[in-house]
Each structure stands twice: as structure tokens, then as C-alpha cells.
Amino acid sequence: SLASTAVTCFTRGLDLRKETEDVLCPANCPLWQFYVFGDGVYASLSSVCGAAIHSGVITNAGGAVRIQTLPGRENYPAVNANGIQSQVLTRWASSFSVTRSKNTALEAVGRSVSTARPSTGKRPKKTLDKKAGNKDCKADIAFLIDGSYNIGQRRFNLQKNFVGKVAVMLGIGTEGPHVGVVQASEHPKIEFYLKNFTAAKEVLFAIKELGFRGGNSNTGKALKHTAQKFFSLENGARKGIPKIIVVFLDGWPSDDIEEAGIVAREFGVNVFIVSVAKPTTEELGMVQDIGFVDKAVCRNNGFFSYQMPTWFGTTKYVKPLVQKLCSHEQMLCSKTCYNSVNIGFLIDGSSSIGDSNFRLVLEFISNVAKAFEISDIGSKIAAVQFTYDQRTEFSFTDYTTKEKVLSAIRNIRYMSGGTATGDAISFTTRNVFGPMKDGPNKNFLIVLTDGQSYDDVRGPAAAAQKAGITIFSVGVAWAPLDDLKDMASEPRESHTFFTREFTGLEQMVPDIIRGICKDFLDSKQ
């Protein structure tokens, strides 16, 4: 009797229906594509043929094997055997073991099948592209799922199915979207990070594995935690790729979500809210803040909120959500003041400052620069020193890392001479900001001086502002307030700073950074 199941390279233990089943594995399965969990006893989400090769029952030439279903267990180990690296799994509901098939008829067929299919070197090309994923969808996404008592175990499982469908349709891959999952309940739990999986199959397994936590739906707490902790480079976030959090909410949050929304925007994260089963009229009295969706999303423009009436029959909602998540140009919150500004420092090198105070000026500049995300696609820093003459210490394109910028600032040598601030502003506008004028970043100039300028500052400052440069003036000691105000952008009060002593510069750092961020946000609204 030839009671056998022809299987593919990807058939898993849980795809088989019987307690004991004889299957015929094909030849030449690509070894790197096998997902195998355990050793000897394999979690049922393992590939059957992968497990058979891993355990040495067959080789990659294929053949007949017998699969025996076993109960689930804990701690499936990772073992490298026969060219396959199996993976660790903490717990799974069922297992299987693999032995040679006793079915001789099947064996004969097995031999003819595996020899009848010589490997043509053509097949693997397609699978490699699949590995890369959907290159047109550039996104690093955290799915913040609802694990509260509000949703309950049954709807929690429906939610997992929906998130799984979204993950598959996104086209996850090494060069496509990467995803991770955080569960919101009493305390947030990061279930897996962006770096953990780069294939949709793996992500699906991981989502199926998620256990329901229960507790209050502290969505605000979870959103804040995710915005702050999830997207670090060491956890797999990629430079220059939009960061997105998709918040799934059944009902309403039990805590305040507005502050979390502000934090997410500050961190350059685009927040979407998918609300399911909106509060009914009777329930509205229990909701802390009726406008919770508008306060948490990236922008209250309709794009970032998404509604589903229930968790049942959600398939039709998958594609429109995926289209939103892949609309790179709509991610308005990716640009922040920290990663999208050019800051030029214009440094007075006149002889009245002296060596030790000049060091304090450089320290001030370093402390401001340090706050920004400096990179080839992020913020940029430049510095010009002036007396009657000007010297470009470094331009915006010279250094693209924070370390190099800070080291260049430390190495600036004090010139010592007169003070022609107006000329220096014109020089900087033309030579330092000129080449950047069509770039994406917003331009800022911080002028530091300790005295009266020998030339007119008003004309050059007006021309700089007209060229799109926002000016902050920072005066020390004998710098006349009128000059400082004449140089500063509107509103002048908030763009003019003054301190009697050079040691007072340090206290100004947070205010300057805040000022830059405020101007940046105002320009975006």
C-alpha cells in the first residue's frame, strides 16, 4: 500500500494530519531555508524534511521518512547537524520525531523520484529575491498589540491572526520592512525586536507563539516605552528608514496616552492607531479622554487613524493598512529637530576673549552639537571663526559622525584679532550655507560674540534670514544688546541670549536646543 504524502521542502509537522505518517521528501531542498527547532524531538512548526536531514535519517537527496507526532515540551535546543542549524524554542504545543520509513514500496518510489530530478542550477534565484522582501516598502515597524483584559483571550487570538496577515502582506525581508511586536497590558513587554527575524515565515511563527498577558490596557505606558526603547540601532533599527508604531486598541486605554504621543513625535516615530470596537455611548463615561486617538497619532489628519468595527472578518482591512504603512512620503513624524537640521556656529576669535574663555566657547558648541543626530542623512554641523577675517574651521559636508564633529571642535585653534561680525555673517551665508540651500534640512546659525562689531550686522543678518537661515545670537561680556537683537531672528526675545561671564554659557545649552526644536516644529506645522 502506497499510503504516503508527497511533501514539499516547507511542509511542517503541524501540516500533517495523522499520528504516524510516511512522507516522501524531495531532493535538493535549499538547506539555508529550513526552519528546524530542537534536536531529535522537533517542535511541530519545524520543517519535516529539514528535521529528517538534521537528524541524519536522509540526506539532501531526499527519500522516505516516517513522522511520529509527540506531545509538546519546553526548551527545544539549538544544535548544528548535517548542514542545518536548528533553533531554540522555549515552548511549543506539539512535537514530532523522524525515523526511516518502513514502507518499501515508498522507498523504491523515493529512489526513482530523487534520481529523476537532477538539480538544474536555475531554481534558487527566485528564493533569493524573496529573502530581500518588498524593497519598495521601507519601514521599521513595531506592532503594539493589546494584551489587556479588555480584549480577552479569544479576541487576542483574532488580533494575532490579523497582525500575522499584515506582516505577510508587507513583504518582510532583508531589504524590505522589518517588524517587531510589543504587548501592552499592565506593564509593556517587548516580545521580539526588529533584528530578530527578517523573513515573514519566522515572524508568523513568533506571532503564533505569543501568550496573552491580561491586566489593564496601559497603552500610554507601552507606547512611551516602545518609542524610547524599541528603535535603537543595537535592537535592529536602520538609519534613515521610517520608524512606525502601529497601536492596536480594543476599546480604550486605561491610562493617559497624550504624553506618550508627544514622546513618540520627539523620537521621530510615526504613530498609527488601529481602534477596534469603539466605545459605545454608554461606555464613553468611562473613557478618560474621548479624543485619545487624535492626541496619540503622528498627525491628526485622518491618515494615521484606522478603524475596524470588530475583530471578525478583518481580512479586507489588511491591504489598505499595509498601503498606509508603506507610504514613505506620508511619514511626517520621521523628521525631527534632532535629525533634520544644519547648525552653523559663527565664533568670535577676537583678542578680548583670551585662550581660556575660548575653550569655554568650544565646550558650549560641543554641548549643543552633541544633542543632535549627526550623520550623512541626518543633522550636520559647521563652524567658522572670525576676526576681521574669516576662517571656515569645517563645513557641513566635512564630518558625518558625532565623534568626528566633536573632535574637530576640540581642535579649533584660537585666532585672536579684531571683530567684523557683519562680514562674517555674509561669508558664512555664502560659503557655508550656500551649498546646502536646496537640501532637506532646516538651517540655523548661532553667532557667538563678546563685543561690539566694527561693521554693520543688520544688513548681513537680514540677508541670511531671507536665505532661510534662522539666527540665534549669543552675547558674552561686552556684546551690546542692540547688536544681538539686530542679528536675531523673530521673535527676537527668544532668539537672543546674553551672559556676563563665559562660565554662564553652559546654562544656555538646553534653551538653545529647545529653541531650535521649537522653530523646527513651527516650520513643519
* Sign, CA torsion 67/68/70/76: negative
- Alpha carbons within 13 angstroms on the beta-carbon side of residue 433 total 28
The reported pLDDT for the residue numbered 114 is: 40
pLDDT tens digits for range 49-75: 999 999 999 988 888 899 999 988 888
**CA–CA separation, 383 and 395 (whole Å):** 7
**Exposure pattern of 85-110 as b/e (b: 16+ CB <10 Å)?**
ebbebeebeebbbbeebebeebbebb
Residue-level pLDDT, tens digit, the chain, 525 residues: 445 667 888 788 888 878 888 888 888 877 766 788 999 999 988 899 999 999 999 988 888 899 999 988 888 888 888 888 888 888 788 899 999 887 655 554 444 444 334 344 444 444 446 788 888 898 999 999 999 988 889 999 999 999 999 999 999 998 899 999 999 999 999 999 999 998 888 999 999 989 999 988 899 999 999 999 999 989 999 988 999 999 998 887 888 888 999 889 888 999 999 989 776 666 656 666 667 788 899 988 889 999 998 998 898 999 999 999 998 878 888 888 888 999 999 999 999 999 999 999 999 999 999 999 898 888 999 999 999 999 999 999 999 999 999 999 999 999 999 999 999 999 999 999 999 988 889 999 999 999 999 999 999 999 999 999 999 999 999 999 999 999 999 999 999 999 999 999 999 999 999 999 889 988 876
3-class SS of residue 165 = helix
**Spans of all domains in the chain:** 5-100, 140-330, 341-522
**CA–CA separation, 88 and 25 (whole Å):** 24
Which CATH class, in words, describes the domain spanning 140-330? alpha beta
Domains 5-100 and 140-330 share a fold: no
The reported pLDDT for the residue numbered 341 is: 95
CA angle, residues 140, 142, 148, in degrees to nearest 5: 175
Pairing state between β 269-276 and 243-250: parallel
The reported pLDDT for the residue numbered 437 is: 82
pLDDT tens digits for range 362-374: 999 999 999 998 9
Strand partners, 63: 25
Q: In whole angstroms, how large is the CA radius of gyration of the chain?
A: 31
Q: What is the CATH number of domain 5-100?
A: 2.170.130.20
The reported pLDDT for the residue numbered 255 is: 86
**CA–CA separation, 162 and 164 (whole Å):** 5
The arrangement of secondary structure in 341-522, i.e. its CATH architecture, is 3-Layer(aba) Sandwich (3.40)
**CA–CA separation, 73 and 314 (whole Å):** 33
Separation in Å, CA 454 to CA 383, 461, 483, 497: 21, 15, 11, 20
